[in-house]
Amino acid sequence: MLLRLQEGQRTLEKQTAEFNAGIQTLMRQLSGGIEDSERKTRKMLEQTTLRIDSTQRLLKLIVALLVLSWGGIFYIARQLPKLRDKSVARNDKVPESALDEERIVGWQKGEPPNAREGWEFER
């Protein structure tokens, strides 16, 4: 009976050592998995932060464009009554020599079309 107890104790010690080694291996694997998970989580948080920052910049740009366009529309709306009151008149005078019998302006032969407006052309 004593031999059986000693043999059982040795078997139990072997199994305990194997269980301890197995538990330590599993703990190392779990800690490695936790480290990988932490790295991935950190990387995802950094990417999310970058996306949030770029989205905020885009929204600020959109708001600025809207404010500027509303300001332009408001300015134009305020200027329209003033523009309606002003008449548009041309101050150009056509020389009498350029008018034909039907009072239509024509070009004289040999001169460029814009010669009378002060444009200089070289030939």
**In contact, 75 and 64? CB cutoff 8 Å:** no
Domain count of the chain?
A: 1
Q: Is residue 101 part of a domain?
A: no
Q: Is residue 28 part of a domain?
A: yes
Q: Is residue 80 part of a domain?
A: yes
Q: Is residue 109 part of a domain?
A: no
For residue 93, what are the β-bridge partners? Answer: none
pLDDT tens-digit profile, the chain (123 residues)? 888 888 989 999 999 999 999 999 999 999 999 999 999 999 999 999 999 999 999 999 999 999 999 999 999 999 888 877 766 555 566 565 555 555 555 555 665 655 555 555 555
Structural domain of residue 34, as residue ranges?
A: 2-87
Q: Is residue 19 part of a domain?
A: yes
Q: Is residue 116 part of a domain?
A: no
Q: Where is 36: in which H helix or E strand?
A: helix 2-85
Cβ atoms within 10 Å, residue 115: 13
Please name the residues in contact with 116: beta carbons below 8 A apart, sequence gap of 6 or more: 95, 98
Q: Is residue 83 part of a domain?
A: yes
What is the model's pTM? Answer: 0.45
Q: What is the pLDDT of residues 105-120, one digit of tens each?
A: 555 566 565 555 555 5
